A and B are shown apart, each in its own frame.
Chain A
Amino acid sequence: DVKVTQSSRYLVKRTGEKVFLECVQDMDHENMFWYRQDPGLGLRLIYFSYDVKMKEKGDIPEGYSVSREKKERFSLILESASTNQTSMYLCASSTGNQPQHFGDGTRLSIL
């Protein structure tokens, strides 16, 4: 079974902090994705990557950056956290036309 592991289930940070969310997958998938999920808005794509060191902006990249130095790891970075970035963050990976496999999510609160 594909395993997508997100480093934290719950995280509380302060406004202005730099925040790192880590995601690791164990199936050698080339594609990796970061979404945020908010009530009434569904899933919105922040960034995705289809290869090591490659990254593409999704629908809402402002205030975020990403890093993919190794194939199995995709990191989401909040450069200077703000309260409107309080959300559930979901990481996913996929290959070819197979479905995306999701991690358990990180519920991030910015105070």
Chain B
Amino acid sequence: ELKVEQNPLFLSMQEGKNYTIYCNYSTTSDRLYWYRQDPGKSLESLFVLLSNGAVKQEGRLMASLDTKARLSTLHITAAVHDLSATYFCAVDIWGYGGSQGNLIFGKGTKLSVKP
């Protein structure tokens, strides 16, 4: 069974602190995506990771992909309140019975950054 597991599912942080969200998956996919969802809103694409060792950074967020370990991380540096949202990772299952672009999503990590 194809699985994508995120942890933690809930994360309460203080402003200024660092933390990492983990995304483990059970396929050998080398395509992984991170999304952000604000309450009541839709999903917004954050990062696209398309090869082993890929690293992308945007502001206080940095995502990386280790296809050998089947692990992606989303690192938060010096958190601010504006980063409060739910973050999803998603794995492309193309080649595993899925068409290109068919994603399996993790359950999401709800991040709350407090002053």
Contact = CB atoms under 8 A, between A and B. Distances in A.
Interface residues of A, number: 24
Given A43-B43, A100-B103, 12 more contacts: A31-B99, A42-B88, A42-B105, A42-B106, A42-B107, A43-B105, A50-B99, A50-B101, A56-B99, A98-B48, A100-B33, A100-B90
Interface in B91-106: 92, 99-103, 105-106
B45 interface: yes
Interface of A: 31, 33, 40-43, 45, 48, 50, 56, 90, 92, 94-105
Nearest to B47: A99
A97 B106 CA distance: 18
Interface residues of B, number: 22
B10 to A, nearest CB: 11
A42 B101 contact: no
Q: Counting chain A CB atoms within 10 Å of each CB, which of B31, B44, B101 scores highest?
A: B101
B100 to A, nearest CB: 7
B107 A97 contact: no
